[in-house]
Amino acid sequence: MRLSLSRLAVGRAGWIGILLFVIAQAHIQAENHPFPLPAALKDPGIWDQPDFVAAWQPAKSTAKIAHKIWPNTPGIFGLHPHQVSGHFIGNRLDSITLLFLDSGTHFGYVSRDKAAMTKKMNRETFQALHRTTAEDVLAGLEKLTDSKGYPLTLGLTPMLQQQVLMFASGKLTARYFSIPEQLVKVTFYRDKKKAKSLLLDPSLADIKRRDRIKQLTQNMHEVENGDRLLESIPLFIQGDRAYCGVSALSMSMQYLGLNLDTEDYAAAAGIRWGSTKGSKIREVYEAAGREANMRLSRSTKFDFRKARSALDAGLPVIVWRRWAKERDYVHTTFAARFAENPAIELPKADMNDRATWPDKKAYSHASVITGYNAKRGEVIFTESWGESARNRRMRYEEMEGTVYYTFYPRL
Amino acid sequence: MKKIATSLFLVLAIHMPTWTLQAIPNQIGNVGFVNPAGMRFENFAGEAKTWKANVKLPGNWENWSDPKNQDSHILVYRLDMPADVFGIRASQVTAQLKNDKVLQFKIVFEKSSSQSASLIDQLTTNIQSFTGESGGTNKNSFRYKKINIQLKGGSNGAVVVTISPQAKAVVLR
């Protein structure tokens, strides 16, 4: 018996069959879910049609804010975007973003030691790709809207400020945004005011501090087993991109009302050529805090007591921590067993257990703290990997022992 | 065999979009065996059907001449692709089969320079987490569904894990 696929000849006919099958699958998918063009980019009436709403994936989301993906990438303006995503608030489609070019998606994850080589090998080609993509998208938008658009500056902080072009597209408003070597995207909004703001709700800027505190505090829920959870943190998937830090930020900040996507933060931080090398993620965190009219105070330690206070006030905490797949296995498998039997507990950290925690040689990774259970001594955290990685558990001692930066939002 | 390979490729092709949606950072741990199997190796070993006759082992396996195998009726195959088992990259995974039925999987781990913890401690912790068992007095014998998992220290810090069905554990000498 030998099952080595790599050494078994599939045969020319087999390969052709595979190719035809994959193409056929893509066609079936596209035919089952044709993106209604150009109507969906002009008419908000389409956005409310049940068939259109039901096509976005994943169908269900536990959070109030959800990013859902159109099941295929339709041809738009003669291009195929990386992704067509719908921004849902409740079950209502609030905006559609066409991500035509994103450096992180284009290059995938590139380790720091390969960043310089990746840049050297690809810079000219990617610059040219960015240029032609931006030109094609702008030409397409001008044709769609029969206008040249008008420029607008959004945001307060230099790092996150966006020079955008606004277009009236039927009953929708389109916002074009591009950063050389980074990003080309267009977002279509129902609401013109929202299109002209970086805030999810432009009236947020006028809400009194004490009212905001009251609103946020109400988001904290206690469940039967003593878990205290922020259940409304949206989940934005980082994919195979060096975006954990900016995904954790966008998840937290969208919950707090700042309407920027993971790719916006990545572009602002300068995560280029697939790598975080030389990027300014920490600075982008500070800028995001200021944009949302709050502070993201940074500490080099994780303090369980302080994190609990923040969470009780409805404020998610972001941690940057040492991460190893060997140790992540414990959190993954515990989450799976906990889902079947909520009575099980993580073992207390003894010397042997501590020896298996990732140290300074390990990878860096960002997670969002979304809750805790004081009785069980557990921190509840969420990863930007998908719904299956929501509300995982870790003993607080381990979080304290592996975190090297904690970001506490403060109003 | 060509038909089997073609069918497997078709299955892979159909599921490819799902894998690309997996957001494991940097795709760490999401390589090798997990892709054709659609599950981790230890989960595959925990499936009852894995131990039934005429099982199709997913992934690439090659004939392997195990010098310790004294029984000519037992065929040994070595996994010819990377696999993380219990969260740790295995250096060798072999399957022992008799009459087209798996008797035992043997997984060898070798300590890598990037690991700070002792390999046996790390594996013990991870197997405990996977099975929910402490591993008995010596912390080296675990039960999961209908399989036994035995953990044993080898030379130069290496660790050998054997997985066999609970009913008829067969250990090759």
Residue ranges of the domains in chain B?
Answer: 2-165
Please name which of A215, A233, A286 lies closest in space to residue A66, comparing C-alpha atoms: A233
Q: Which two tokens stand for residue A97?
A: 């973003």
Which two tokens mark B137? Answer: 């007095």
CA atoms of A172 and A169, how far apart (whole Å): 5
Average pLDDT, chain A: 91
Cα–Cα distance for residue pair A56/A40, rounded to 1 Å: 13
Would you say A388 and A302 are in contact if contact means Cβ atoms under 8 Å apart? no
CA-based nearest distance A10→chain B, Å: 5
* Chain B CB contacts of A365 below 8 Å: 25
pLDDT of residue B138: 84
- Best mutation site among B4, B12, B26, B27 for testing chain A: the one with the most A CBs within 10 Å? B26
SS3 B5: helix
Mutate to test the interface with A, among B14, B55, B116, B142 (most CBs of A within 10 A): B116
Distances, alpha carbon B144 to alpha carbons A264, B44, B52, in Å: 46, 12, 17
A residues 95..154 contacting B (CB < 8 A): 109, 111
Domain ranges across chain A = 19-199, 209-410
Chain A residues whose beta carbon lies within 8 Å of the beta carbon of residue B16: 22
Class of A209-410 in CATH: alpha beta
Q: Per DSSP, which regions of chain B are E strands?
A: 61-63, 75-79, 84-85, 88-89, 92-98, 101-109, 141-144, 147-153, 159-165
Structure tokens at A167: 């277009």
Which chain A residues are Cβ-neighbours of B1 within 8 angstroms? 2, 8
Report d(CA A277, CA A118) in Å as an integer.
Answer: 12
pLDDT tens string A315-363: 999 999 999 989 999 999 999 999 999 999 998 888 888 999 998 888 8
Which residue on chain B is closest to A340 by alpha carbon? Answer: B132
Is there a contact between A300 and A380 (Cβ–Cβ < 8 Å)? no
- Comparing A150-159, A366-375, B113-122, the range with the smallest average pLDDT is B113-122
Residue A151: helix, strand or coil by DSSP?
strand
**pLDDT score recorded for residue A54:** 95
Rounded-to-10 torsion of CA A348, A354, A360, A364: -30
The ipTM assigned to this model is 0.79
Are A6 and B60 a contacting pair at CB < 8 A?
Answer: yes
pLDDT of B155: 82
The pLDDT assigned to A21 comes to 53
- The Cα–Cα gap between A323 and A37 comes to 44
Do residues B57 and B95 touch, judged by C-beta distance below 8 A?
A: yes
**Count of residues for chain A?**
411
Q: Which residues of A touch B21 (CB under 8 A)?
A: 237, 239, 386
What is the three-class DSSP state of A170?
coil
Q: Which residue of A has its CA nearest to B127?
A: A330
Mean pLDDT, all residues of chain B: 82
Report yes or no: A9 at the B interface, CB cutoff 8 Å: yes
**Tens digits of per-residue pLDDT, B45-76?**
999 999 999 999 999 999 998 777 778 889 99
pLDDT band for position A1 (50/70/90)?
very low
